[in-house]
């Protein structure tokens, strides 16, 4: 369990503050994460890594000379938002472009992808790299769907050394992708982790057994087996990884490997050394030369009891970059790099965001939207535990709390905007940013995209009518499918969003009033959400545990159906009040 914390909701923020206070000679805090506090070579590529908090030393501990230039940090086990990644990347940029590197999780893919597009739009060259080293999360035929786990360390290290050597962005990306292709990891867990304020671990493992193949966000493994002796575990690791030797790695010069034995949070160093003695012997028996092995904690899962083994097959260039010096708070290698600290900078006060001029009708609509967001918040708060329970069947169980964090932040932002006279479009777009920033993960990204699409369609001058609302929902559907890549049948919220949007637009096209069209579409959404029980997930964290989810609806689909039905009730009440007012005026 977690012993030391104040408010669970403040844990991520406070840990960053403490980390920076302890490592100010190497890092400084910026909105969304940390960047180097030392000077980097002008014109070189910046490596920006990131993911959820709870994985220390990843990701902040790997920022420093010879390692990453910045790290974007989300809430515990939740992806940083696109805004956070963008802000960190802008602060880290040296003028040579940015490589965004992260583990291959759906939320990270969405948020880092959006940040990349925004950087490119502003003239900053940018490349993406999703680490895919976890052999248990997909077959070799679907290697692009594999998760990024402890292999993050070796891939980040190679990419950072290439940038430090002055490689251009395209060459840094090429080397980093080769490092990723040459890297394989297998992990096991003996118990789940318990987040601050939680009374139960995210998952449990039966006494005397271990989960094989779990991710680093507390996802259950794909199978369980009896806990072996240390030597037998080493043999399982080495045999499994050697069976996954990357295609084409046959030359004698490539029979050299970087090795990382990684503790996931609660397994002690002494235990790791017992396992490593047998790992080293087995690799030597396989005629592999070990190059500068690492044994310790590098990519953890908060306080999970678990361990993983990573191998990266080396060629001459990869070996040179693996051996290159580095000096980050949690990772040092070779001769210590003494870097010049940044000059004391004048703290810049955040510019007050201006509010675009809005028509009276749009301002009135903004007040209505604030009320709708408040209803959404109450709905999600009332159902957060149930949404978490559904999500935990095959995922990590954080959907309810993530949605709650997102909507509460959106409501807070909306209230401040209404006071300042914002229109409907501005309110929804900025509430969308607040939702994505605070919710993190896949759902945070998708809800940010959806609300932005609707807000853009409504604008700040038009009177929101059935046509513009339906158009906004259609744009939300298209944007979510574009960024999330999910299709109907993949067991995601798309299985509700598509039929809901189609039904709403069809009814509005027939001339049905907005409240009635929404009511009909909300019924379709409810039916569609229940129908996801019969589907198996083809995307996201639940995909490796597809069989477990059969018979259980998708949490994202259920939460979307809950929300549109709650909004329908608000619309029906408002419609009834308007009819009463009209009747009273007539009398």
Residues annotated catalytic, as ranges: 217
Dihedral angle of Cα 318, 319, 321, 327, to the nearest 10 degrees? 140
Strands (E), 228-382: 256-263, 289-290, 294-296, 305-313, 326-328, 331-333
**Exposed (0-12), middle (13-18) or buried (19+): which is 386, by Cβ within 10 Å?**
middle
**Exposed (0-12), middle (13-18) or buried (19+): which is 540, by Cβ within 10 Å?**
buried
- Pick from 400, 476, 336: which is nearest to 198 by CA? 400
Look-up: residue for tokens 């970059």?
321
**Exposed (0-12), middle (13-18) or buried (19+): which is 312, by Cβ within 10 Å?**
buried
Strands (E), 316-433: 326-328, 331-333
Distance CA(457)–CA(471), nearest Å, equals: 7
- Phi first, then psi, for residue 562 (nearest 5°) are -60, -45
Look-up: residue for tokens 């007012």?
581
- The tokens describing 218, both together, are 């507390």
CA-based torsion, 441, 446, 452, 454: positive or negative? negative
CB atoms within 10 A of CB 295: 17
CB atoms within 10 A of CB 80: 33
- Phi first, then psi, for residue 539 (nearest 5°) are -145, 165
What are the angstrom distances between the C-alpha of 515 and each of 380, 497, 569?
22, 18, 9
Concatenated DSSP letters of 127-196: EEEEE--BTTSS-GGGGGGPPP-THHHHHHHHHHHHHHTT--HHHHHHHHHHHHHTEEEEEEEEE----T
How does 424-447 read in b/e, with b if 16+ C-beta sit within 10 Å?
bbbbbbbbbbbbbbbbbbbbbbbb
What are the angstrom distances between the C-alpha of 359 and each of 436, 459, 463?
27, 10, 8
Distance CA(177)–CA(144), nearest Å, equals: 12
**Exposed (0-12), middle (13-18) or buried (19+): which is 253, by Cβ within 10 Å?**
exposed
> Taking a C-beta distance cutoff of 8 angstroms, is the pair 152, 123 a contact?
no
């Amino acid at each position: 369990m977690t012993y030391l914390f104040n408010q669970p909701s403040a844990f991520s923020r406070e840990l960053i503050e403490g980390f920076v206070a302890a490592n100010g000679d190497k890092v400084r805090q910026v909105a969304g994460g940390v960047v180097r506090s030392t000077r980097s070579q002008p014109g070189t590529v910046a490596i920006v890594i990131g993911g959820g908090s709870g994985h220390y030393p990843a990701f902040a501990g790997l920022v420093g000379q010879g390692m990453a230039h910045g790290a974007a940090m989300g809430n515990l086990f939740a992806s940083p938002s696109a805004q956070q990644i963008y802000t960190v990347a802008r602060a880290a940029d040296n003028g040579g472009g940015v490589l965004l590197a992260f583990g291959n999780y759906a939320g990270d893919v969405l948020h880092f992808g959006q940040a990349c597009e925004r950087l490119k739009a502003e003239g900053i060259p940018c490349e993406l790299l999703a680490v895919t080293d976890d052999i248990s999360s997909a077959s070799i035929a679907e290697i692009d769907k594999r998760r990024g786990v402890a292999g993050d360390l070796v891939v980040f290290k190679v990419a950072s050394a290439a940038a430090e050597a002055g490689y251009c962005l395209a060459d840094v990306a090429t080397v980093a992708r080769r490092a990723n292709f040459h890297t394989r990891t297998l992990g096991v867990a003996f118990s789940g982790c318990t987040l601050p304020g939680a009374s139960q671990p995210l998952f449990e493992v039966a006494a005397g057994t271990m989960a094989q193949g779990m991710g680093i966000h507390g996802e259950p493994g794909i199978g369980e087996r009896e806990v072996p002796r240390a030597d037998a575990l080493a043999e399982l690791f080495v045999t499994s990884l050697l069976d996954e030797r990357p295609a084409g790695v046959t030359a004698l010069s490539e029979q050299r490997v970087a090795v990382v034995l990684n503790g996931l949070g609660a397994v002690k160093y002494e235990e790791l050394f017992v396992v490593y003695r047998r790992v080293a012997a087995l690799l030597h028996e396989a005629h592999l030369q070990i190059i500068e092995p690492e044994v310790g904690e590098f990519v953890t899962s908060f306080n999970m009891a678990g361990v993983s083994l990573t191998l990266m097959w080396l060629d001459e260039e990869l070996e040179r970059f693996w051996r290159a010096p580095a000096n980050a708070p949690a990772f040092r290698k070779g001769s210590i790099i003494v870097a010049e600290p940044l000059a004391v900078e004048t703290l810049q006060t955040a510019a007050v965001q201006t509010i675009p001029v809005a028509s009276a009708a749009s301002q009135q609509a903004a007040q209505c939207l604030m009320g709708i967001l408040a209803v959404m918040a109450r709905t999600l708060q009332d159902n957060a535990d149930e949404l978490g329970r559904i999500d935990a069947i095959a995922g990590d169980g954080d959907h309810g709390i993530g949605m709650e964090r997102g909507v509460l932040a959106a409501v807070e932002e909306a209230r401040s905007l209404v006071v300042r006279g914002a229109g409907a479009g501005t309110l929804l777009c900025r509430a969308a940013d607040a939702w994505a920033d605070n919710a993190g993960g896949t759902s945070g990204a998708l809800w940010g995209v959806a609300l932005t699409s609707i807000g853009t369609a409504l604008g700040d001058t038009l009177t929101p009518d059935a046509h513009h609302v339906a158009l906004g929902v259609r744009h939300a559907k298209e944007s979510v499918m574009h960024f999330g890549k999910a299709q109907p049948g993949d067991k995601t919220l798309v299985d509700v969003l598509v039929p809901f949007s189609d039904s709403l637009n069809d009814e509005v096209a027939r001339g049905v009033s907005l409240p009635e069209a929404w009511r009909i579409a909300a019924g379709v959404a409810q039916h569609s959400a229940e129908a996801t029980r019969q589907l198996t997930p083809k995307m996201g964290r639940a995909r490796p545990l597809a069989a477990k989810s059969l018979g259980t609806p998708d949490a994202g689909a259920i939460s979307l159906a809950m929300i549109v039905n709650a909004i329908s009730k608000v619309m029906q009440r408002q419609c009834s009040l308007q009819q009463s007012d009209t009747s009273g005026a007539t009398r």
